[in-house]
Amino acid sequence: MLQHNLIDLLKTCSNNELKSFKKFIQSPYHNNSESIVILYNELVKYAPKFESKKLSRATIFNAVFSDQPLKDEKLLTLMRKLESLLGEFFVAEKHKNDKIEANRLIAHRFKDNKDIWQKYIEQNKKLLNKSTTYDAHYYYLHFQHELDKHQLIEYEGNRNIEPNLQNLIESLNFFYLVNGLKYHYKTINFQSFKKYDYDISFLNLVTDYIKNNEFEDEVLIVKIYQLGLKIAIDKDSDDSFLDLKALLIKEYKKFPKGEIREMFSNLNNYCIKKINKGESDFVVHLLDVYKFQVEHEIIVFKGKIKPALFKNIATISILAEDLEWLEQFLLRNKEKVNETVFDICLAQYKFELAEYNEALDLVETSKYKDTLFKLNAYSISIQALYELANDSLDVAEYDGLLDNKIKSFDRWLRRESKKNSLPKHAFFYDNFLRLIKSIYKSLHDPNISKSQIQVIEKEIKASKTQAKRWLIAKVKSL
């Protein structure tokens, strides 16, 4: 199969974009090579996946250069030219769809004609006033508009005209404050998952300025990011969490999907931290937040849901014991993740239904490249084998499989730990392995005492571990 950057770019194009690109390269203004058009017409036959075995260098070369001997470099040169044209097409489409940016370019092009540049600057003002979304990008556009006006007045050279400096300063303040809050809050959130030493000392100046100038109550996005910062910094700011949750549910339509997705992720992260601390009330809060995001497709980006998020939704639904909703979620969103991710979530669901063989089949037949998913697959396998070893006619067979799986997981964890390739939260699974070993050993010890079992139970309750509820249930059944 033919592999090239051009193919990767074409895969990202919608059907309408592919049609428009054909018109683009057929225009002599953009392209005067007939070979380019032939090449594109041949390639587009394999849209949208471009994965057919027939898509080969020989096939494409023969279609473009019939009766000529195959020369890789000749084909690659033509493909690079087509790739370059596709880049130009993307730029043209962006300007065509971005009326504000187009007006800016025209205004600066005709800066010697005041009537013309004023006309296009005013058009941008009207477009900004009509805006129904007030995300961080809106404040960039507003600042850019005031800057354009300032630059064009200055270019005139008339010192009797105030060069729009007050409006420029105010819009710059808003732009900086909104984006300063946004990216400081993203930095703090990122630090909770990855250990990076960021300098965020300027944050105090930003928050103090906002407080002293009452920005928080006047500007919606400032209020949202201020609340976001509070729950990112303070792990016990439940009132701010509830305020932010209510505000986002009420005002989500005022922000584009990308921005509101980031805002909701802050709620998700706060709940996860609380759950990891053992505050089970936040399981219901998180599922409530997830359900809202699913219902309004906030979590969907380009028709897909991030694998880790998809899995978290499945896990939280199970913890909240809402299997009915989880079943519908899985059925309706199967196409929004790859098969491997779907299988592990379905395996979790099957395990909760006590369909252990089905759960085992799902995790055993998939190969997990993502380390976190592999950890989870090991966990589900061990749990399913444990259940089968204790509630099956083939006790000896499943007991042997369980013993092998525990040893395999132990070896794999040690190997990955030496390579320093485990994620931050891998210790949950390390603790799970240690505790399941204790339970498994106790299961085969006829002399195990009640007090020894109570020690294991106490240890489980005190540990941050994967599948804590299940482990407690198993130790109680010894």
Q: Give the pLDDT confidence score for residue 252 in this predicted structure.
A: 93
The amino acid at 397: E
> What does the alpha-carbon distance between residue 187 and residue 185 come to, in Å, rounded to a whole number?
5
Question: Digits of tens for pLDDT over the chain (478 positions)?
Answer: 788 999 999 999 999 999 999 999 999 999 999 999 999 999 999 999 898 888 999 999 999 998 899 898 999 999 999 999 999 999 999 888 899 999 999 999 999 999 999 999 999 999 999 988 888 889 999 999 999 999 999 998 888 999 999 999 999 988 988 888 888 888 887 877 667 788 888 888 887 877 777 665 567 888 898 898 889 888 889 999 999 999 999 999 999 888 899 899 999 999 998 998 889 899 999 999 999 999 999 999 989 999 989 999 999 999 999 999 999 999 999 999 999 999 999 999 999 999 999 999 999 866 777 888 899 999 999 999 999 998 766 777 888 999 999 999 999 999 988 888 888 778 999 999 999 999 989 888 888 888 999 999 999 999 989 999 999 999 998 8
Q: Give the pLDDT confidence score for residue 193 in this predicted structure.
A: 67
Burial pattern 166-193, b for ≥16 Cβ within 10 A else e, equals: ebbeebeebbebbbbbbebbbebbeeee
Parse the chain into domains and list their residue ranges.
Answer: 5-97, 100-233, 364-478
Q: Give the pLDDT confidence score for residue 217 in this predicted structure.
A: 56
Whether 304 contacts 286, CB under 8 Å:
no
Q: Give the pLDDT confidence score for residue 293 in this predicted structure.
A: 97
Tokens 């929004």 -> residue: 336
Cis peptide before 48 (omega within 30 of 0): yes
Q: Give the pLDDT confidence score for residue 215 in this predicted structure.
A: 62
* Structural element, H or E, at residue 421: none
> What does the alpha-carbon distance between residue 120 and residue 418 come to, in Å, rounded to a whole number?
61
Q: Give the pLDDT confidence score for residue 56 in this predicted structure.
A: 92
Q: Report helix, strand or coil for 446.
A: coil
